[in-house]
């Protein structure tokens, strides 16, 4: 099922950027970046950040002969919100329609944070036929909200306070949350932190609130069970936004045959962390099946933990 109108079209160029927008049936215009030639790797972002949060990985993977596609979620980056709302069903339909309109097949889908819920809902609703594999980086799945059957989740009052602070002063809330997201001032430069904050601040207050509600209220456990393609879960053990114990480990355990990689000292914002972004690039290249090139910094062999291994 496609959410895109038949009249939308995208002009492809052999090696340079291709920018949408693709127009959905409810009027959202989705901005898409399309770099390089080769097997397709599609990047979807956390919360309101936009595709730019992946620019270090997209640049490196495109240089290694991969076609890298970055998608701005509706209402984020340079995409408009449309009228259908921000529930995971709609976000999943948007993502499926992007893959269909660009006729992408054998895709490696790379997600960050709440985009994991978007990806597994897309698989549940549309099937995995266009996917070769999925990498879930710092996922917020299977469920963020604390409940009797999810005791390690985040209490409801934390999300209530988040909505209240966003409503009172959205830019101040995002700025205050940045150090925890990035892992402290030592994890990124001051300039990169300001840049990252600016990415997240672009979305409207409505978009920011609605995505927060979707992220906090959704239980994705049934969706995880529908994932049948090879799946790599990457999670930092210092992630304060989506703790490893309540998110990374149960996400991996909920997907049959998945692999969990734990980054020691890793924060939520792994794609931009000074200490972890290059390792993440190498791990994604390895997952796609491309050997690490000498141009990327050397690192130790990452530890791989089978899904369902014991909790911390």
- 268 is known as an active-site residue: yes
pLDDT score, position 131: 98
Structure tokens that stand for 283 in this block: 């791990």
pLDDT score, position 310: 39
For residues 157 and 115, give the distance between their C-alpha atoms in angstroms, rounded to a whole number: 23
pLDDT score, position 268: 98
Instruction: Tell whether the model's pLDDT for residue 30 goes beyond 80.
Output: yes
| Catalytic-labelled residue, pool 3, 79, 113, 216 | 113
Per-residue model confidence as pLDDT tens digits over 135-183: 999 999 999 999 999 999 999 999 999 999 999 999 999 999 999 999 9
Within 10 angstroms of residue 239's Cβ, the number of other Cβ atoms is: 27
- 223 is known as an active-site residue: no
pLDDT score, position 306: 47
pLDDT score, position 23: 86
| pLDDT bucket at 12, cuts 50 / 70 / 90 | very low
Q: Once rounded to an integer, what is the mean pLDDT over residues 294-302?
A: 40
| Catalytic-labelled residue, pool 268, 273, 276, 283 | 268
For the chain, the structural domain boundaries read 22-306
Decide: 239 and 272 in contact? Cβ < 8 Å: no
| Catalytic-labelled residue, pool 239, 246, 258, 276 | 239
Instruction: Tell whether the model's pLDDT for residue 266 goes beyond 70.
Output: yes
Per-residue model confidence as pLDDT tens digits over 59-71: 999 999 999 999 9
Task: Give the residues across from 109 on adjacent strands.
Answer: 42, 134
Question: Cα 100–107–21 angle (5° rounding)?
Answer: 45
Task: Give, in words, the CATH class of 22-306.
Answer: alpha beta
From first CA to last CA, the distance across the chain in angstroms is 41
- 239 is known as an active-site residue: yes
Per-residue model confidence as pLDDT tens digits over 82-116: 999 999 999 999 999 999 999 999 999 999 999 99
Per-residue model confidence as pLDDT tens digits over 201-224: 999 999 999 999 999 999 999 999
Percent of all residues in the chain with a pLDDT value above 70, rounded to a whole number: 87
| pLDDT bucket at 311, cuts 50 / 70 / 90 | very low
Minimal CA–CA distance to 142: which of 17, 304, 251? 251
For residues 138 and 152, give the distance between their C-alpha atoms in angstroms, rounded to a whole number: 16
Q: For residues 23 and 77, which has the higher predicted lDDT (pLDDT)?
A: 77
pLDDT score, position 224: 98
């Amino acid at each position: 099922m496609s959410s895109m109108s038949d009249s939308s079209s995208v002009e492809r160029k052999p090696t340079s950027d291709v920018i949408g927008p693709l127009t959905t049936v409810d009027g959202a215009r989705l901005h898409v970046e399309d770099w390089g030639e080769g097997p397709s790797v599609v990047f979807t972002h956390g919360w309101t950040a936009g595709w730019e949060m992946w620019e270090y990985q997209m640049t490196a993977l495109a240089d290694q002969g991969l076609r890298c596609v970055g998608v701005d979620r509706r209402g984020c980056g340079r995409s408009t919100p449309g009228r259908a709302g921000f529930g995971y069903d709609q976000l999943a339909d948007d993502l499926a329609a992007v893959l269909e309109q660009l006729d992408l097949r054998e895709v490696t889908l790379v997600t960050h944070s709440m985009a994991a819920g978007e990806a597994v809902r897309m698989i549940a609703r549309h099937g995995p036929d266009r996917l070769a594999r999925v990498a879930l980086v710092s996922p917020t799945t299977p469920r963020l909200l604390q409940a009797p059957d999810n005791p390690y989740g985040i209490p409801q009052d934390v999300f209530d306070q988040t909505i209240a602070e966003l409503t009172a002063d959205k830019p101040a809330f995002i700025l205050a949350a940045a150090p925890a997201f990035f892992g402290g001032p030592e994890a990124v430069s001051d300039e990169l932190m300001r840049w990252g904050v600016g990415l997240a601040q672009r979305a409207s207050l409505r978009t920011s609130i609605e995505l927060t509600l979707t992220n906090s209220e959704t239980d994705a456990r049934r969706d995880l069970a529908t994932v049948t393609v090879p799946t790599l879960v990457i999670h930092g053990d210092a992630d304060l936004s989506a703790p490893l114990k309540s998110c990374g480990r149960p996400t991996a355990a909920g997907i049959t045959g998945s692999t969990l990689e734990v980054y020691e000292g890793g924060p939520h914002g792994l794609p931009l962390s000074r200490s972890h972004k290059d390792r993440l690039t190498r791990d994604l290249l390895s997952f796609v099946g491309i050997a690490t090139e000498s141009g990327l910094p050397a690192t130790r062999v990452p530890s791989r933990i089978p899904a369902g291994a014991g909790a911390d």
